[in-house]
Amino acid sequence: MAGLMGFGQRQTVAARAKGGLLVLGAFAVLLFVIELFNMVMLRSLNSTFGLRPRSADGLLDIFTFPLLHANLNHLLSNSLPLIIFGFLVFLSGLRVFLTALAFSWLGSGLTVWLIGDGGITVGSSGLVFGLFSFLLVRGFFNRSWRQILLAVVLFMGYGSILLGVLPIVAGFVSWQAHLGGAAGGVVAALLLRPRTGRTP
């Protein structure tokens, strides 16, 4: 029986891994298709759908600005960590991935809309920071040593990017998007933590 349970768990992890590769791969392809179209349109999509802080129309831009980038290098710098972190989150299931992504997306967008410097913001780096922060803290909320160990490894490899949440970073980088995305990832991890039942 134990062998059958272990086989079933391996099958589940394998299925999630396959699903994660398909979903993150498809999302990356979508970003590159949009980037190519944006290049053809001479970056006009950025001025139309980029996030404009504190404007009524800008509230709708919250849903579109992570899909756009300033240039191809900007997209390339975001795509690899987005795929890596997104895949690792997806291994916990589609519901967990969608929750972490949604809170990262909304946290990033709302923070830029509220305290952005007034320029147009584009890019998926807020999602990167949100998924990364989710991976860093969820193990502590879940009391999972395996997830904490993964967080330590990720922090050792990518921890320096957290400096991007500080206002001291270069002016062309939206620290507001990074900060909001990271906060959204922490909120998602908090909401997804296991509920402990109360005994009467």
**Beta bridge mates, 121:** 51
End-to-end, the C-alpha distance of the chain in Å comes to: 34
Crossing angle between the packed helical segments 94-115 and 72-90, to the nearest 10 degrees? 140
**Nearest-angstrom CA–CA distance, 64 and 96:** 22
The residue ranges of the chain whose pLDDT is under 70 are 1-11, 169-171, 196-200
Question: Which pLDDT does position 198 carry in this prediction?
Answer: 47
CB-based contacts of 190, cutoff 8 Å, min separation 6: 141
Question: Which pLDDT does position 155 carry in this prediction?
Answer: 95
Query: Please, what's the b/e burial string for 110-144 (b: 16 or more CB within 10 A of its CB; e: otherwise)?
Result: bbbbeebeeebbbbbbbbbbbbbbbbbbbbebbee
| Residue-wise pLDDT tens digits, 171-183 | 678 899 999 999 9
Question: Which pLDDT does position 2 carry in this prediction?
Answer: 46
Question: Which pLDDT does position 9 carry in this prediction?
Answer: 57
CB 141 within 8 Å of CB 189: yes
